[in-house]
Structure 1
Amino acid sequence: MRLTAITERLAGLGGGKWEVHLKARALAEAGADLVEMTIGEPDVPTPQELCDAAALALQSGRTGYSNGRGEAGLCAALAETYTESRGRQFLPENILCFPGTQTALFAVMQGLAEAGSEVLVGDPMYATYEGVIRASGAEPVPVPLRAENGFRLQADDLTARVTPRSRAILLTTPHNPTGAILTAEDIGKIGKIAQQNDLWIISDEVYEHLVFDDANFVSPLSDPQLADRVIAVSSISKSHAAPGFRSGWCVGPAEFCAALLPVSETMLFGNQPFIADMTEKAVRDGSSVAAGMASRFASRALILEHRLHAETGLVVHRPEAGMFALVNVSACGMDGDTYAWDLLEHGVSVMPGSAFGESLTDWVRVALTIDDERFAKALDRIVAHANLSDRNVA
């Protein structure tokens, strides 16, 4: 059987990273009593007004072909929203629409990286980042995100890994899986490195509207000095609790978007008009559910930290945003993979940190998206598991 090189580059980078989650799902479907804390589904349904908008557009015949850039109304809404939120002007020419952030990332990477080039990316990283980089033929270059620095990318660590083959820096802010938010100072330093080495900056901002408490989100798009080298990607999946609609976009220099347009057209030639109409409403109206989700996720992260610090030797890194928290499980005498599989036998599924990079060997990622009752049940089981007589917990 003859296959292409891309299949080899992506071997092991698909569903294999979600092995614990898939096993947990299978056990639950077979009747096992499990609390699932592996993936980040919003904890509320898609708002009814958005479902109604999609249904109305569908019934109105908005089912024809679109174009490679995206529906005019949605592109205009995004341009207006980004102009207001980023403090500089954006036009529809700065927008390309895609079915979700993942597709946007894939397409953007196809336009920026290729065989022989490198993409600098924080480690830990979202589970699909290595795949979207390798799909282009480029090599991912992990840059450690250290717990002692709040898991925020440090300029010195980045500079040490820049080479003549470096083409782009892939950022996530707010970050998955750590929940860290880059500060304006962080972005300024990263931007200078990008300017000095003629690097693109790709900023995944899908958790922008799930920021906790008094934390502040800052986008590289807001810096006019970086206007010619920053591309942001996002979607309504998290902010509007609409992951199944698969509606996202990229925002960047008009010249880049024009150059990438044939790539988009080759991939999908436009997204679905009835979903674009719903997304336009979502973008123009803002989210009716994001603030509530952020409040609940922040509260659960605080409860997780208090309970595990008070009752076990496990160490929680409390996030500033997003849907997850990290737990260092080394006090149990296990690495994250061993711990995740062992905890699964005690009725809770979590993601091993290794799914997100080598720097999280001793960590697991815990979803904050389950309801409070099940969250409390999971914590009871995690505490009991950590304090088993044969555990080395202080």
Structure 2
Amino acid sequence: MKTTDVTARLASFGGAKWDVHLTARKRIAAGEDIVEMTIGEPDVPVPPELMEQAVTSMRAGRTGYSDGRGELNLRQALAERYSATRGRSFEPDNFLCFPGTQTALFAAMMGVAQQGDEVLVGDPMYATYEGVVAATGADLVPVPLTPENGFRMQADDVAARITPRTTALLLTSPHNPTGAILGRDDLLALCKLAKAHDFWIISDEVYEQMVFEGAEFVSPLTLSDYADRVIAVSSISKSHASPGFRSGWCVGSKAFCDALLPYSETMLFGNQPFIADMTELAVREGSSVAAGMSARFSRRAGLLADRLQAETALEVHRPEAGMFAMINVAPIGMNGDDYAWDLLDHGVAVMPGSAFSASLTSWVRVALTIDDAAFEIALARLISHANSKTQEVA
């Protein structure tokens, strides 16, 4: 039987990027001693106060159908939080609630892009972005993010790729996989381009609260002159160590949210009321775990960079935020895919850079989310493996 064009467009964006991770999981389940550093699971459980709120709400009967926009109590909490942090006023109708950032991003992209359009995306990019753009029928236009520029998007690189078909620019700051953060001047230059050429900016801000000491997060939503063309997506998955609850949102102008609402309601019709109550508490009270995670991830990133660069030929890009660090494996004569598979046989699982971009074929992404004892074991194995490969090349 024939399936639709969208299934064909997405056929190459399935699970193959996660082969190393899935193989590692199978081998760990079979009893092998492998340290898993592939995906960004928080290193702490869901805060107990959030669990208790979810259970209390379920027992109180908050298990029925939701408002199609998302529960009003949650949208009110989001409006108050964003008004306090973005320097301008937001109302509940500036928000739509979704199960996680991924769904919010998918819906937002479906609201601004279609067949014949082009969407500019920083390259490297999170593994699902290609599929999100392809689902709309639009063409993805990569904008290079280079190590020389700290993996920060450059306005000149964007300007060189704008065409009459450009309909949106997808930003990720803090960035996955590199941990780079766009500053206010960076965002202002990009927003000026968006206004001059009349395209949308979609900002994935899920790592907003995972910023390391000395760095600062800035949202394009703070640039009030460009507010009507900025859409942001986020969730409690990272900041509140709650990825399994799938609770996220989209924020934009009321006109955009009104236009997207019928699509959202057709897809899922709001979020679960008991999860909305839990998320309201998370939004109002802030995170009891984000600061600790950020401090640990920053410390582990520093330790990784210091040790590998002192004791091996490997090169580490120091992140400013997030859950990951990038390692350039070219100095030991390997590409990222071969390195990841070879390293798996030496007891450490990492993600090949090619999962995020063809430009990262010499890199791997390392999760900083494992506990300190496992991290020390992984470091020792990384150093031993790299030095053995260096000797082979010599």
TM tier, smaller: over 0.9
2:122 pairs with 1:146? no
Give the letter for the 2:128 counterpart.
Answer: T
For residues 110-129 of structure 1, what are the structure 2 equivalents within 5 Å? 110-129=110-129
Say if 1:333 and 1:391, in contact at 8 Å, map to a contact too.
no
CA deviations on 1:88-136 (whole Å, 9 max, x unpaired) are: 0000110000000000001001100001101000000000000011001
User: Which structure 1 segments of 5+ residues have no match?
Assistant: none
SS at match of 1:46: coil
2:89 counterpart residue number = 89
Report the CA distance between 1:12 and its aligned residue.
2.0
SS at match of 1:228: helix
For residues 271-282 of structure 1, what are the structure 2 equivalents within 5 Å? 271-282=271-282
Label 1:389 to 1:217 Cα distance change in 2 as closer, same or farther (>3 A).
Answer: closer
Say if 1:62 and 1:274, in contact at 8 Å, map to a contact too.
yes
Label 1:368 to 1:389 Cα distance change in 2 as closer, same or farther (>3 A).
Answer: closer
SS at match of 1:387: helix
For residues 351-390 of structure 1, what are the structure 2 equivalents within 5 Å? 351-388=351-388
2:160 pairs with 1:160? yes
2:241 counterpart residue number = 241
For residues 315-334 of structure 1, what are the structure 2 equivalents within 5 Å? 315-334=315-334
For residues 153-232 of structure 1, what are the structure 2 equivalents within 5 Å? 153-232=153-232
CA deviations on 1:249-280 (whole Å, 9 max, x unpaired) are: 01101000000000100000111000000000
Q: TM-score, structure 2 length as denominator? A: 0.99
* Alpha-carbon separation, structure 2, partners of 1:14 and 1:288: 35
**Structure 1 vs Structure 2 CA RMSD:** 0.9
Give the letter for the 1:381 counterpart.
Answer: R
CA deviations on 1:279-320 (whole Å, 9 max, x unpaired) are: 000000000000000000000000000000001000000000
Label 1:389 to 1:300 Cα distance change in 2 as closer, same or farther (>3 A).
Answer: closer
* Alpha-carbon separation, structure 1, partners of 2:345 and 2:389: 16
Give the letter for the 2:255 counterpart.
Answer: E
Give the letter for the 1:386 counterpart.
Answer: A
Give the letter for the 1:294 counterpart.
Answer: S
State the percentage of identical aligned residues: 68
* Alpha-carbon separation, structure 1, partners of 2:300 and 2:70: 38
CA deviations on 1:24-46 (whole Å, 9 max, x unpaired) are: 00100011110000000000000
Label 1:116 to 1:59 Cα distance change in 2 as closer, same or farther (>3 A).
Answer: same
Give the letter for the 2:116 counterpart.
Answer: G
Give the letter for the 1:63 counterpart.
Answer: T
SS at match of 1:320: coil
2:47 pairs with 1:35? no
2:344 counterpart residue number = 344
SS at match of 1:203: strand
* Alpha-carbon separation, structure 2, partners of 1:186 and 1:392: 43
Q: TM-score, structure 1 length as denominator? A: 0.99
Greater alpha carbon shift after TM alignment, 380-389 vs 164-173? 380-389
Give the letter for the 1:304 counterpart.
Answer: L
Report the CA distance between 1:390 and its aligned residue.
5.6
For residues 8-27 of structure 1, what are the structure 2 equivalents within 5 Å? 8-27=8-27
Report the CA distance between 1:67 and its aligned residue.
1.8
* Alpha-carbon separation, structure 1, partners of 2:327 and 2:343: 13
Say if 1:144 and 1:157, in contact at 8 Å, map to a contact too.
yes
The alignment of Structure 1 onto Structure 2 pairs a total of residues equal to 394
Give the letter for the 2:337 counterpart.
Answer: D
* Alpha-carbon separation, structure 2, partners of 1:112 and 1:232: 13
Label 1:372 to 1:393 Cα distance change in 2 as closer, same or farther (>3 A).
Answer: farther
Report the CA distance between 1:330 and its aligned residue.
0.3
* Alpha-carbon separation, structure 1, partners of 2:355 and 2:77: 36
Say if 2:114 and 2:136, in contact at 8 Å, map to a contact too.
yes
Say if 1:333 and 1:392, in contact at 8 Å, map to a contact too.
no
Report the CA distance between 1:359 and its aligned residue.
1.4
Say if 2:332 and 2:389, in contact at 8 Å, map to a contact too.
no
Give the letter for the 1:26 counterpart.
Answer: K
2:311 counterpart residue number = 311
User: Which structure 2 segments of 5+ residues have no match?
Assistant: none
* Alpha-carbon separation, structure 1, partners of 2:185 and 2:338: 38
SS at match of 2:388: coil
SS at match of 1:365: strand
* Alpha-carbon separation, structure 2, partners of 1:363 and 1:389: 15
Report the CA distance between 1:391 and its aligned residue.
4.3
